[in-house]
A and B are shown apart, each in its own frame.
Chain A
Amino acid sequence: MSLLEISDYRLAFDGFDGTAAVLDGIDLAVEAGDTLGIVGETGCGKSVLARSLLQLNPVPPARVVSGRILFEGQDLLRLPEAGMRRLRGRRIAMIFQDPASYLNPLLAIGTQLVDVIRGQDSAAGGVVRPRRAARALAAELLAAVGLAEPERLLDSHPHQLSGGMRQRVLIAMALAGEPRLLVADEPTTALDVTVQAQVLALISRLVADRGLTLILISHDLGVIAQSCARVAVMYAGTVVEEAPTAELLARPLHPYAQGLLAAVPDLDRPEHRPSGIPGSIPNLLRPPGGCRFHPRCPRATAECAATKPLLRELAPAHRVACHHAAP
């Protein structure tokens, strides 16, 4: 059994203008120890998917239409909030995009960490450790993410920290409950390029050292290529291709994935200008029928508009949802 198994997961957002089919039949499996990257343009639903794992999408407007998300054999979609609370942080933890806004501006770093630690204790149902003990652990965690002078840091407030430090604090928080699965939602997007690399390296090291399973979400294939063994490409609420990273980079099969790769500037060959994909992402209130990519697809046919392509395994561990894709 996989650590995480998502099948036929459909999520809709109800609004004044109608219902947006934000996630449309997601099928994904993550084995323990796996590192999976999810890539796609802004608005393709990758963050919504990531938040689904912790049931953080606000209800309403979010509404589960169908599907299952099995984590360690438990269906998260049917788990009551109380059960979910026991999972958050302890089994599945998450780090976020913009560390400035994901840290409480008014609380000291220490307080935030201690609250996380004690929250975990309480969720575990055991003894909640006293504040002092929690604080000691917090300092350890800060040290573990490579922050100097953790004791002093505990008493400082987020605005006194640099972006990279804040992201490290967030990572420390995520580690507090010794989770099995770490979901990182664009963890480096808001950071400087140099800091980005450091943070990514830190994540990779932690994953390796602690035997974590990682789901890394990014719009940047380069970031994923650095840290993930496998990658899934999302387009407009569907997974269009899933493959080992090297395989996908070498041989993308879905026209969208191909377009995405072409959009990456190749520093080695400056004359090769990124081509991009014509058209824009569809309005999910009235998504195109059949394959959601067909209005922008150079290879679209009548079939594409009529029937939705399912993920087919075209090569070992390489699955594509396209009528026309061939190995």
Chain B
Amino acid sequence: MSHTSRRAVLLGAGALAALPASGWSFERDGNRKVLVFAGNQGVPVLDPHVRYDWSTRMIQQSVYDGLLKYVGAPPRIIPWLAERYEESADGLTYTFHLVGNAKFHNGDPLDAEAVRFSFERGLKLNAGIAWMLKDFLKPENIVAVDPRTVRFTLDRPFAPFISYVPWWYIVNPKQVAANTVDGDNGRRWLTENAAGSGPFKLRRFDGNTLIHLDTVPDYWKGWPMGEANRLSGVIYRLLREAAPRRAALQRREIDFGTNFSPDDLEQMARLPGVAIENHAGFTTFGIKFNCQQGPTADINLRKAIAHAFDYESLITIHNGGARLMDSPFPTGMAGHVSVPDMPRKDLEKARVFLARSRVPNGDIELEYVHVQGLEDARRIGLALLDSLRALNIRVNIVGQPWTTMVARGSKPDTAPNMTSVYVTPVGTDPDTVAYQYHRDSWGLYYGMSHYENPEVWAMIAEARGMVDQTRRMAIYAEVQRRIVADQPELFGMIANRTWARRDYVKDFEFSPIRFTGEVDLYPLWIQG
């Protein structure tokens, strides 16, 4: 147990009352500092080949390394475990050359075999990240050519390949083998343990409460802030509710926090010593219509709704911290074009479309489903309800657990009339978003529209296998226009990514490719 100035103050309740929010400091462990990060979501499964979401991946990125890494805004892919790679002209073969000095936390060297093993494991477990590559890459086609070279041979060209590689983390095959029970490929063990090479290693793991990471002193890649400023470690603390999270930041019990409401952030910006990070995001918000069944199968009704909705409310709800979507693709994604004539609130037009629909007088009730507990989605539902009153359409706002929503959305018969969905593209390649409108995505959460347009489907399928990037992008421009014209969803907005932190936390590096809330902990340090 470490001696901590903060705990001493915490326990001396009297002293604490006398010194409101002063004399508090970041945690020290010896003369190094521990950074405390608070979020609202646990880390149920740490295994990098089984699960990812923002909090999980934040920890995974800290304890594991990938061949490549996403950094910066706009996001770039930089060499990491692989110092360079080559792509064959036919787009089928990728050869990665590893750095020579990478090693796992237990001292084992990180070699080509470890990379091969990890990709194979990811594909075989067929969970989490597997969907990204499994249709194009067979485990037997990954070859460790020599200890520092790995070669991947794809079944057919797949343009987004490189954009997914950074999310395939490398695990230590020896540790996995040592902890395999009943042939589970180490799955049970890796749920709460790590076998990585990343800048941090696990010290304490309770995915529902707290995760304590220690910095690796001799991290093979070194530390950008210099050895003197290197942290002792990072604590990820789960604080489910916003108010305690905010109070904790105010009282310097935490140094970095995420998932604050726009209103909270506005208030916190005024606090001395608190800095707000506010960056253009990459996560689209849309309301998916059920295009196959029910009233919304009627394109005129969809258009009517799209023109009746008060888009400004999306901005107001975020206190200005959002941009309206001008295409199905988020701004900043390769191939993104600004589609002209995106529907905006225009009641005249809305009424014209409504009149052409099968329910010219409205007088229907539509269900709007959002994930239970998502406050913004609920408020947007209220704005939608208010907007559609002008068309004499009632809205039934329903919050449902994720599983129920997904289960309902899996079939056109049960999919709600309207479902609010946030989508964060996992890679920068346009296919990541475009494929959501393909027939193959029907029934998955981003495919709840059950959007049908065979021409568009064909274009999407063609584009993902193309090597010529210019032609590819031209196709995507057309795809975006066609999708907007078909209005399978109400294209909403892209909210800013926001965090609040103490101002002594230095070198935060934003990258929109990370999930909402997710932070790259590697460059962070504490000054003072």
Are A and B in contact, CB atoms below 8 Å, in the complex?
no
**A contacts, CB < 8 Å to B:** none
**B contacts, CB < 8 Å to A:** none
